[in-house]
Structure 1
Amino acid sequence: MSFSGLVKFLIGFFLAISLLLVAGGATAYYFLTKLSTPPAKPMYANDKSVLKAKAAIASKKPTPASSAPASPTPTASTPLEPGAYIASVTWPEGLSLRENPSLEASRVGGVGFNQRVVVIKESDDKRWQQVRLENGEQQGWIKAGNVKRVDSE
């Protein structure tokens, strides 16, 4: 084998190795960027119907001139259960309401980020909280630690 043949072989070998490294790096970068972006916020079927129901209720209720303040909270007129308090959801993607305090329990609804709920009680192991939506329409269990207590107004 001549000297020029050896040089051609070495250049071709290093070019092939560098091409494989660049392609492998590009593929790794592609998959890492796809895996590092958070998924889109899930939309539940009952979310839209709850919003439509709230809009329908709001449009049907006439506001008398002699009523209480313009926007009272539903819990302001309804006393809370002993030990219950109002809280706001802090988990950015919202929470799933479950039938029982277990991940295997069936989903009965959802609660959005910053939505206010009434925390009724905690499970015995303190890992779950039973909550009711502030408007009183729905009740279920959420994982503890995903809400913060809201000061009374």
Structure 2
Amino acid sequence: MLTQILKYIFGFILAIVILIGGGFAMALYFMNRVSAPPPKPIYANDNPVVKAQTPKSQTSKTNQVSLEQSSPTPDSQATPQDTPKPESSPEPLLPGAYKARVTWKQGLRLRKEPTADSERTGGVAFNQKVIVLEESNDKNWQKIRLENGEQEGWVKSGNVQKIDEQDDTQTAESTEQ
């Protein structure tokens, strides 16, 4: 009978220890989950982060040969290739378009739409040559394109000055000499 009482007391103490240990383990688990910082939120106006590409691991020649002989995968088709840029030949300007030079000392911001609240699409440096394509209905904005054709957008009117073609060619000839 004494052994039965000892077994009962030992079982009761063991059950209490298991309950306390389990409770402590659960508390640690939830505390660690709660204390971990959440991932950074991504908003619509944030710039996308470009992940650096990891270098491919070196493979043996036999693996490379077998990969070349196998059918192409989407990854192998997705690698961009440099395309040769066409020679810069003077393109005829659209009717109403003219060449101009930026006169604002700090340069200009290119906008997507002809409003100050519009999204920025790039910038133009002081004294850079541009092509004025059109003006807004209220004449407060001008749509321009960089002379090399890389960027296009809207800028405030009065910040560019029209270039005379004759003056432009004379300036180019004098800089070459």
TM-score (norm 1): 0.51
Q: Secondary structure at the match of 1:142?
A: strand
Q: Secondary structure at the match of 1:101?
A: coil
Q: Secondary structure at the match of 2:148?
A: coil
**Overall identity of the aligned pairs, in %:** 54
Note the residue ranges of structure 1 that are not aligned, 5 or more in a row: 1-56, 64-73
Match of 2:26 in 1: none
Match of 1:148 in 2: 161
| CA shift for structure 1 position 94 | 0.1
2:114 counterpart letter in structure 1: P
Match of 2:107 in 1: 94
Note the residue ranges of structure 2 that are not aligned, 5 or more in a row: 1-81, 170-177
Structure with larger RCO (C-alpha < 8 A, sep 6+) = 1
Q: Secondary structure at the match of 1:145?
A: coil
RMSD (Å) for aligned C-alpha atoms = 2.1
Number of equivalenced pairs: 84
Question: Larger radius of gyration, structure 1 or 2?
Answer: 2
State yes or no: 1:135 paired with 2:148.
yes
What aligned pairs does 1:1-153 form with structure 2 within 5 A after superposition?
Answer: 74=88, 77-152=90-165, 153=169
Q: Which aligned runs of 4 or more in structure 1 are off by greater than 3 angstroms?
A: none
| CA shift for structure 1 position 91 | 0.2
| CA shift for structure 1 position 77 | 2.3
Measure the CA separation in 1 of the matches of 2:131 and 2:107.
15
